[in-house]
């Protein structure tokens, strides 16, 4: 009887500890993205460099920062704001990390919803966690992927399609960065 009680207490403690760790683990998106608070004014920080602007949407990069998602280093990360309020993060990469990212988010946030939409060459995986939508898009034709984090209370104010179209225009800038300054960025990632 005593052994059964001790076992039940031990199992209960393990469950409490694991759920606490999960809550801490998920807190990174509740208030912001990797230490940057949702709705903050990115233009007020000298660390952020504005790379494009149209209407009330502005895109920034933080040249000195390389993020890690799972074991994957990502750079450059683009931070989008609407009316000077931080609402989205995205980055691009190649098909080789698609499976790793998909598995990482499935493990962290549960199974995704998957859509192919009108374009059968593109796969989209979506995870929702509290007020954040995580979107992983793969274009099988080009081999490019895009990972986005949207703060939904604010992104609901912005037409998501309009925001994504604007981000597409920013890609040419990022392609120039990756080509013209690739060696510099590689040094930062080491």
| Architecture, CATH, for domain 31-189 | 3-Layer(aba) Sandwich (3.40)
Tell me what pLDDT residue 116 has: 64
Q: What is the average pLDDT score of the chain?
A: 75
Residue 56 pLDDT > 90:
no
pLDDT tens column, 14-50? 333 333 333 333 446 788 988 899 999 999 999 999 9
| Lowest mean pLDDT segment, chosen from 14-28, 33-47, 100-114, 153-167 | 14-28
For the chain, what are the domain ranges? 1-30, 31-189
What gap in Å lies between CA 184 and CA 173, rounded to an integer? 16
Phi first, then psi, for residue 7 (nearest 5°) are -60, -45
Instruction: Judge contact between 148 and 135, C-beta under 8 A.
Output: yes
Tell me what pLDDT residue 111 has: 87
Please tell me which residue, 186 or 164, carries the higher pLDDT value.
Answer: 164
Tell me what pLDDT residue 179 has: 53
Please, which pLDDT band fits residue 160 given cuts at 50, 70 and 90?
low
Instruction: Judge contact between 170 and 51, C-beta under 8 A.
Output: yes
Please, which pLDDT band fits residue 174 given cuts at 50, 70 and 90?
low
Query: Quick check: helix, strand or coil at residue 174?
Result: helix
Which tokens belong to 174? Answer: 């990022």
């Amino acid at each position: 009887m005593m052994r059964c009680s001790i076992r039940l207490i031990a199992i209960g403690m393990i469950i409490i500890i694991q759920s606490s760790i999960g809550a801490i683990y998920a807190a990174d998106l509740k208030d912001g993205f990797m230490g940057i608070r949702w709705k903050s004014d990115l233009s007020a920080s000298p660390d952020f460099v504005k790379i494009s602007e149209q209407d009330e949407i502005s895109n920034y990069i933080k040249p000195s920062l390389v993020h890690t998602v799972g074991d994957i280093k990502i750079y450059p990360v683009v931070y989008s704001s609407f009316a000077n309020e931080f609402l989205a993060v995205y980055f691009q990469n190649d098909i080789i990390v698609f499976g790793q990212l998909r598995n990482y988010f499935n493990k962290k946030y549960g199974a995704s919803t998957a859509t192919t939409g009108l374009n059968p060459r593109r796969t989209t995986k979506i995870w929702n966690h509290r007020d954040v939508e995580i979107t992983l898009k793969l274009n099988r034709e080009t081999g490019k992927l895009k990972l986005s984090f949207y703060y939904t209370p604010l992104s609901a104010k912005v037409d998501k399609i309009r925001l994504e179209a604007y981000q597409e225009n920013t890609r040419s800038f990022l392609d120039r960065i990756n080509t013209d300054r690739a060696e510099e960025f590689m040094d930062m990632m080491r």
